[in-house]
A and B are shown apart, each in its own frame.
Chain A
Amino acid sequence: MNLEERLRDAASAIEGMWADPEENRLQLARLHQRLDQPLPQSNEEATWLTVAEAAAVLKVRKMTVYRLVHSGHLPAVREGRSFHVLETDVHALTEEAKRVEAATAPKPAPMQNSRQAAGRDQRPSNEVTFLTVAEVAAVMDVAKMTVYRLVNSGHLPAIRVGHSFRIPEHAVHEYLHMLHSADVTGGERS
């Protein structure tokens, strides 16, 4: 059998997949469920942001906002030649990013964190501030490269926005505290 025949054979075998109408119906129901959820944003006093404003809120470049709009991640309306996005949608995007971060962040060391975690929970979640890599580097007084290394090694939880990282401020402080306490106990041991 030559290659072309084998490719066609495989293609026609694939045509037999996803043919179950019942499964199709289930997926359609799942889709409608999702479409029904984010509706309650239809209040009249919705705030519209320009792309520049949204970029400032998200701490990304305007180009990234355009990319998010074009890829459909950020719903937008067109007015003439410019886009406007809903403030709630921008916040939803950061919430989503935070949820991803929460799901993927390495589990914090159990000991010292219960109190901090409780304190954090009382704060409304939209108060979490995100820092850029440069800002974290400034806070920790290290090179940006060090921050990237910490992010990549999992010591600092980070979310990805476009090609850059954003790091929750509290995570930086927790990390520094952890280093500090490790230092203290290490000192006692030796």
Chain B
Amino acid sequence: MQPEPEFDQFFTYWRPHISRFLVWLEGDYAVIDDAVQETMISAHRYWDRVRQLENPRGWLCKVARQRLGDAQEARRRQGISTDPYDIPDRPPPGRDPTAALVDHLAVIEAVRKLPPRQATAIALQLKFDAPLSEIADIMEISTGSVKTHLHHARQALEELLSEGYGGTR
């Protein structure tokens, strides 16, 4: 196979970003890695078209979301649950220096517990600061629905995160 420096660059740049997007939605890093690999395989397959995209972010997120679903499905078939409710709780943070870190984890895990579409919408907003129109395009829904999802997501997060740190669900 001939070297494809352009694609390699693309991969090196986007892999971390897509992973950081998916980590909002999935706690199993192996599943995330698989999903990102599959996304990149698709990018390679359609490289002629993907390289011409002005901003491949939307395309990548769209595909990554599908591939994450596939990877989760595959994991489920192998009998390992990826249900966020099955992931053991982190201990509640004390007043120690790691408290900030644990709070991040609590926030991320709260997002993962949201319904998938709410989680996706808020993940896109937090990771990429994506405008509503782009989120709508990625999720293939209207901007109005995006606003609804974001609003419900914030409401639910408020509730999930208010009742004590990392606490009750």
Interface residues, chain A, CB within 8 Å of chain B?
3, 6-11, 13-15, 17-19, 21, 24-25, 27-28, 30-32, 34-36, 39, 71-72, 75, 100, 103-104, 160
Contacts and interface: CB of A to CB of B under 8 A. Distances in A.
B136 interface: no
B16 A28 contact: no
Given A19-B16, A28-B8, A30-B37, A75 B127 contact: no
A6 B103 contact: yes
B19 A75 contact: no
A93 B33 CA distance: 22
Interface of B: 1, 8, 11-12, 15-16, 19-20, 23-24, 33, 36-37, 40-42, 44-46, 63, 66, 70, 74, 77-79, 100-101, 103-104, 107-108, 122, 126-127, 154, 157-158, 161
29 contacts: A3-B154, A3-B161, A6-B103, A7-B122, A7-B126, A9-B100, A9-B107, A10-B107, A11-B127, A13-B104, A14-B24, A17-B16, A17-B19, A17-B20, A18-B15, A18-B20, A24-B12, A24-B15, A27-B11, A28-B11, A31-B11, A35-B1, A39-B1, A72-B45, A72-B63, A100-B74, A103-B78, A104-B77, A104-B79
Nearest to B127: A11
A184 to B, nearest CB: 32
Main secondary structure of the interface of A (DSSP, over half): helix
Given A10-B108, A15-B20, A104-B77, A34 B126 contact: no
Main secondary structure of the interface of B (DSSP, over half): helix
A14 B44 contact: no
A82 to B, nearest CB: 18
B47 to A, nearest CB: 11
A39 B11 CA distance: 21
A36 B100 CA distance: 44
Contacts of B74: 100
B41 A34 contact: yes
A14 B154 CA distance: 19
A19 B12 CA distance: 10
A75 B41 CA distance: 12
Contacts of B19: 17-18
Given A14-B23, A31-B11, A71-B66, A24 B107 contact: no
A75 B45 contact: yes
A17 B23 CA distance: 10
Nearest to B129: A11
